[in-house]
Structure 1
Amino acid sequence: MRTPSVDPRHASVSASLTQAVLHAASRLGLDRAGLLAASGLDTSQLDNPDARIPLLAQQQLWATIEQQLGGVEAGLLIGAALAPGQFSVLGYLLQSSPTLSAALQAVQRYQRLAGEGGEFSLQPEGECLWLVYRAVQPEQAATRTRVLALMAFWQSLMTPLLADFHLLGARFMHAAPDDLDRYTQVFNCSLQFAASDYAIGLPQALLEQPLAQANLPLQKLLREHAEALLARLPSESLSARVVSLLSAQLSQGEPDRSQLAQTLHLSERTLQRRLADEGSSYQQLLNDTRRQLAERYLRDAQLAATEIALLLGYSEPSVFFRAFRQWTGLTPGEYRASQQAQE
């Protein structure tokens, strides 16, 4: 499993999110002052909802919560007790999105506002869309608690917003606990443990359904605020941002360079120039992203090559087949056979 290339020593998370975790822990009977002291935090650091605190401090907070709630699945308890409004701009962005698809795009675009403890990505698989979370420091017990809280919170956030919201599956990196009752109660779907990542599976059929609290005028204001906050964070390369957007858009057809530039608040010419300054280009990033996704999809024996072509934004499978042979010297079928032979 590829883990995010983020140095935990320099990563930061939202003060608003940390405040929400503390509120949830207090509702479960834990002492707020004691939690702050154990994690080396001060109330003044959390007063501004747009402020940032070190990821390592929040990890210590999660470790302390896990210790004090010993004997139970602390992450699931905290996740169920979190309130969406306390996530500041990102929480309101999700709630006011017009559709589930738009909400997922907001997650990808603005995930760093919540924190740099991991990366979300979308992986289509037949009728299921996997929302995958690759965590920094996945081996730490505190990470398990933190990610379980995020997964449980997502479930509780989306359930009232869609008439038939449900999960098709959930994956967890840790081994199956002795008691699965709380997992079954929270996720109500098939569960897989000792997996290579954390993920929840959403029905693709729900993507374009309207959300109950959709509010387009509010969305515009929130996105402007979110863009301003994103700009204040330590810079992420433009190439990385383009790859993230391409990965989200490919399954909907050939990406539109003009629209992508607009999403980044750049002209096409400025986009090309800044990518060139980073030693890259739009077409190179598109080809690289398609190749990486193609190789990942082909390692999954359940996806037909024609389905993969559609997921990569090709209008005709034959165009995908030619491109893949140019990249690897193999047809998609030959590549899949070679991978299976190595297993």
Structure 2
Amino acid sequence: MAELAAPAVHDWDFPRGTASIRLMLRFAEDHGVPARELRSAAGLDDPGGPGRADAPDRPVDARHELAVVRAVAARAGDSDELALDLGRRYRVTTFGIFGFACISSPTMRDAMLFALRYLDLSFTFCIPHVELGEHGISLVLDDTRVPADVARFLVLRDLAAIHTVMRDLLPQVRLQRLALRHPAPPSVQSYVDAFGLVPSFGAASHRAELDPALLTLPLPQANEQTVALCVAQCDALVAHRRERSGLSQLVRERLVRLGGVDAGLDEVARQLAVSPRTLRRRLADAGTGYRQLVDEVRRALAEEMLDTGALSVEDVALRLGYAEASSFIHAFKRWTGMTPAAFARRSSPRARPGR
């Protein structure tokens, strides 16, 4: 199959707006979880966190949204029905100027091309690929880089969101087939409610198939002048975000090379040939902070080392630069909600959950 166009990003780790976080906070409250509890669990109110997640124009690091996803799943109930219900809350208007550009595009093909070109203005974690074949259009979701503990939840959230937005653009959209890689749940009614059909499970990939005739159908709200204006605004927005996010990734790479040992902001700034003040400001512009990045790298490295089962908690703490194991245990519990020992027992050997 030929790919319609390559997605602009190949990983979920890109800055994003706060609309998705705000949507999930409202969703959690609808399920009886107070927003303040969710904010606390996700670290949104921490000094190193994103600050006001209710500020619509403020970009945040993708890991903040991931923390909210984990908190929603943990407190509202990690189920397929919940993930699908959450995904259906995402409407084309949720995506701001990105969504406005899609709905103003001439045809569904144009909207798909735009969405792939500006994918880092979306809230997706699973990377979509659109394949064109003789008998249909295939939307394939790649979740290979999504953290295993929330991979199934995010596949269903993202797929339900994409399907809902496509129907906002063109109400005639219907899936012809849907295949999912994970095992079948006890009930498929929530899938029928979300997609209008019963999927096949245990497939080789997450794949939704549509009628190719949909590509050329005109969109009801197409407007050539509006979409041109939206493209100009999206160009400026992604240029700004990509410039800011580049430095965040450089800091992560430096910290990984140091094995998670905190060299201090001043030293990392010196290595990157910027002043500490500039580094602090540009990280804030990207929706993150130095302490947040240190925690992210340490958490990722800690989970990798604990997964192997070859190192004790004390050894992991030492390798990450902690003077005492108790400090590492406290930090790990803050990151994950469990102790390192409990994590090692649960995830060794680590496998994707087969709920």
Give the TM-score taking structure 1 as reference length. 0.60
Aligned twin of 1:131: 139
Query: 2:126–2:154: 8 Å Cα contact kept in structure 1?
Result: no
Given candidates 44, 51, 74, the residue that maps to 2:58 is 51
Residue 113 of structure 2 corresponds to residue 110 of structure 1: no
Distance (whole Å) between structure 2 residues aligned to residue 119 and residue 76 of structure 1: 17
Cα offset, 1:71, TM superposition: 6.4
The alignment covers a number of residue pairs equal to: 232
Residues 111-260 of structure 1 mapped to structure 2, 5 A cutoff: 111-115=119-123, 117-135=125-143, 137-138=145-146, 140-234=148-242
Change (3 A) 1:83 1:64: same
Change (3 A) 1:186 1:218: same
Query: 1:55–1:116: 8 Å Cα contact kept in structure 2?
Result: no
Given candidates 22, 26, 33, the residue that maps to 2:25 is 22
Cα offset, 1:148, TM superposition: 1.2
Query: 2:125–2:146: 8 Å Cα contact kept in structure 1?
Result: no
Change (3 A) 1:185 1:68: same
Distance (whole Å) between structure 2 residues aligned to residue 131 and residue 31 of structure 1: 35
Q: How big is each residue's C-alpha offset from its partner over 1:33-75, in whole Å with a ceiling of 9 and x where there is no partner?
A: 1111111114844244343322222222112211223264221
Distance (whole Å) between structure 1 residues aligned to residue 131 and residue 201 of structure 2: 18
SS in 2 for 1:207: helix
Residues 62-81 of structure 1 mapped to structure 2, 5 A cutoff: 62-70=69-77, 72-73=79-80, 74-81=82-89
Query: 1:19–1:86: 8 Å Cα contact kept in structure 2?
Result: no
Change (3 A) 1:193 1:50: farther
Partner AA of 1:69 in structure 2: A
Query: 1:24–1:82: 8 Å Cα contact kept in structure 2?
Result: no
Cα offset, 1:5, TM superposition: 5.9
Aligned twin of 2:259: none
Query: 1:99–1:211: 8 Å Cα contact kept in structure 2?
Result: yes
SS in 2 for 1:13: coil
SS in 1 for 2:157: helix
Give the TM-score taking structure 2 as reference length. 0.59
Q: How big is each residue's C-alpha offset from its partner over 1:154-198, in whole Å with a ceiling of 9 and x where there is no partner?
A: 222232443521011223232111111111121123512233433
Cα offset, 1:116, TM superposition: 6.8
Partner AA of 2:166 in structure 1: M
Partner AA of 1:55 in structure 2: A
Query: 1:127–1:205: 8 Å Cα contact kept in structure 2?
Result: no
Change (3 A) 1:83 1:116: closer
Partner AA of 2:27 in structure 1: A
Cα offset, 1:83, TM superposition: 3.6
Change (3 A) 1:64 1:139: same
Query: 1:122–1:129: 8 Å Cα contact kept in structure 2?
Result: yes
Change (3 A) 1:196 1:139: farther
Given candidates 31, 36, 52, the residue that maps to 1:33 is 36
Change (3 A) 1:163 1:11: closer
Change (3 A) 1:28 1:99: farther
SS in 2 for 1:121: strand
Residue 19 of structure 2 corresponds to residue 12 of structure 1: no
Identity %: 23
Distance (whole Å) between structure 2 residues aligned to residue 174 and residue 144 of structure 1: 7
Query: 2:102–2:169: 8 Å Cα contact kept in structure 1?
Result: no
SS in 1 for 2:16: strand
Cα offset, 1:106, TM superposition: 1.2
Change (3 A) 1:139 1:103: same
Query: 1:13–1:117: 8 Å Cα contact kept in structure 2?
Result: no
Cα offset, 1:201, TM superposition: 1.5
Q: How big is each residue's C-alpha offset from its partner over 1:53-102, in whole Å with a ceiling of 9 and x where there is no partner?
A: 22222222112211223264221011122343222222222222221111
Query: 1:138–1:144: 8 Å Cα contact kept in structure 2?
Result: no
Change (3 A) 1:200 1:211: same
Give unpaired runs (5+ residues) of structure 2.
Answer: 1-8, 247-355
Change (3 A) 1:196 1:89: farther
Query: 2:91–2:164: 8 Å Cα contact kept in structure 1?
Result: no
Query: 2:90–2:165: 8 Å Cα contact kept in structure 1?
Result: no
Cα offset, 1:223, TM superposition: 1.0
Query: 1:167–1:200: 8 Å Cα contact kept in structure 2?
Result: yes
Moved over 6 A (4+): none
